C-alpha cells in the first residue's frame, strides 16, 4: 500500500470498466487517471445467432475467458441452458459475472489465463465431449492451441470485439496526463493509447499478460512489469515487485 500512496496510475480500459479499478486504486492510496483506450461491442448477426442455436444444445462445456464473453453470450442467447452444459471460466471476475448472468459456474481455472484454463480443462475432461469457446473476435489462439494439444473437440464463437480508440484529431502529450505508471490490459488498449497520445515521456508500463507485453514492446516502449494473474491484483503485484 505504501508503494501506491500518491502514485498516479493511468487506467486504459473501456470507459464503463475504468471506474471499478479506479475505486480499488483509491482505496489503496493511489490516484487513478482514467483514460479509456478501447471500446467493446457485441457481434450481432444471423450467422452468430444461428450457430448459438445449433451448438448450445449439443455442447457439454461452455468456456469463457472474460466477463465480456459472458455478457455477450447472455445477451445473444436468451433460452435456458441445458442441464448437461457445464460452464468453465478464467478467474474470479469472469466467474462472478457467469454466476450472475448464467446462474452457475462449474470450473474456474487456478490461474487467470487462457493457457491455464486450456491446460486444466484438457486434463479434467476425460470423456469425448464438445466445447464452445465464447471469445472476442480479436482474441488470440492460446486456448485453441491448448485444447488442440489435449485432443479436445471444440467450436469457437466470436461474440464480441474490442476496438482501439481512435485519435480525436490532435494527440495529447502523455506527460499532460500526469501519470507515473500505465496499466494496460489488452493489445487493443496499447493501440488505443498510441492512437491518442504522443509518447513524449516514458512512464512505467505494466501489462496484464504476454500478448499485451508483446504489443507494448512492438511500439518501442519498455515494460516495467507483467502480471502473473490477468486481473488488477496481478498488475498491482507486478507494480509492487518493480517498486
Q: Does the pLDDT of residue 113 top 90, yes or no?
A: no
The C-alpha atoms of residue 193 and residue 197 are separated, in whole angstroms, by 6
- The vertex-117 CA angle with 116 and 123, nearest 5°, equals 90
pLDDT at 1: 56
Does residue 7 surpass a pLDDT of 60?
yes
Give the mean pLDDT of 177-199. 94
- The share of the chain scoring above pLDDT 70, in percent, equals 100
Residue 153: CB atoms within 10 A of its CB come to: 11
**pTM to 2 decimals?**
0.75
- Residues forming beta bridges with residue 164, ordered by sequence position: 38
Q: Give the tens place of pLDDT for each residue, 60-76.
A: 999 999 888 999 999 99
What pLDDT, on a 0 to 100 scale, did the predictor assign at position 207?
97
Instruction: Label each residue of 179-235 as H, E or C.
Output: CCEEEECCHHHHHHHHHHEECCCCCEEEECCHHHHHHHHHCCCCCCEECCCCCHHHH
State the CB neighbour count (10 A cutoff) for residue 45: 10
Alpha carbon distance 216, 196 (integer Å): 15
Q: Does pLDDT of 211 surpass 90? A: no
Give the angle 171-166-196 at the CA atoms, nearest 5°: 25
Query: Of 19, 35, 24, 98, which Cα lies nearest the Cα of 61?
Result: 98
Cell of 174: 502523455
The per-residue pLDDT for 121 is 93
What would the pLDDT profile of 116-174 be if each residue is shown by its tens digit? 899 999 999 887 899 999 999 888 888 999 999 999 999 999 999 989 999 888 899 99
What pLDDT, on the 0 to 100 scale, is given for residue 158? Answer: 95
To the nearest whole percent, how much of the chain has pLDDT over 90? 72
In order of their start, the domains of the chain are: 8-37+165-242 (3.40.50.10090), 41-162 (3.40.50.10090)
> What integer pLDDT is reported at residue 41 of this predicted model?
87
Residue 187 burial class via C-beta count within 10 angstroms: exposed 0-12, middle 13-18, buried 19 and up: buried
Indicate the average pLDDT of the chain: 92
> What pLDDT does 117 receive?
92
For the beta sheet containing 107-108, the strands, ordered from the edge strand earlier in sequence to the opposite edge, are 38-42, 153-164, 130-136, 61-64, 86-89, 107-108
Query: What would the DSSP string read from start to end of 32-55?
Result: EEE---EEEEE---HHHHHHHHHH
Sheet holding 31-34, edge to edge: 31-34, 8-11, 181-184, 204-207, 225-226
Question: Per-residue pLDDT tens for 10-58?
Answer: 999 999 889 989 999 999 999 999 999 999 888 999 999 999 999 999 9
- Report, as an integer, the average pLDDT of 199-204: 90
Amino acid at each position: 500500500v505504501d508503494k501506491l500512496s500518491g502514485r498516479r496510475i493511468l487506467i486504459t480500459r473501456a470507459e464503463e470498466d475504468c471506474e471499478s479499478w479506479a475505486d480499488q486504486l483509491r482505496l489503496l492510496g493511489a490516484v487513478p487517471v482514467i483514460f479509456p483506450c478501447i471500446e467493446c461491442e457485441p457481434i450481432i448477426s444471423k450467422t452468430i445467432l444461428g450457430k448459438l442455436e445449433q451448438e448450445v444444445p449439443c455442447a457439454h462445456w461452455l468456456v469463457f475467458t472474460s466477463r465480456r464473453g459472458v455478457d455477450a453470450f447472455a445477451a445473444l442467447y436468451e433460452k435456458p441452458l441445458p442441464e448437461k452444459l457445464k460452464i468453465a471460466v478464467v478467474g474470479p471476475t469472469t466467474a462472478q459475472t457467469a454466476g450472475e448472468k448464467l446462474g452457475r459456474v462449474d470450473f474456474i481455472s487456478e490461474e487467470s489465463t487462457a493457457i491455464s484454463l486450456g491446460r486444466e480443462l484438457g486434463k479434467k475432461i476425460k470423456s469425448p465431449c464438445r466445447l464452445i469457446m465464447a471469445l472476442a473476435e480479436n482474441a488470440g489462439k492460446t486456448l485453441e492451441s491448448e485444447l488442440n494439444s489435449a485432443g479436445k473437440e471444440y467450436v469457437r464463437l466470436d461474440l464480441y470485439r474490442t476496438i482501439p480508440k481512435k485519435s480525436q484529431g490532435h494527440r495529447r502529450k502523455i506527460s499532460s496526463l500526469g501519470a507515473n505508471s500505465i496499466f494496460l490490459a489488452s493489445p487493443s488498449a496499447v493501440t488505443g493509447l498510441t492512437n491518442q497520445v504522443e509518447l513524449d515521456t516514458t512512464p512505467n508500463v505494466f501489462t496484464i499478460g504476454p500478448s499485451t507485453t508483446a504489443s507494448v514492446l512492438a511500439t518501442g516502449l519498455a515494460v516495467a512489469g507483467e502480471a502473473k494473474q490477468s486481473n488488477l491484483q496481478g498488475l498491482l503485484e507486478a507494480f509492487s515487485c518493480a517498486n
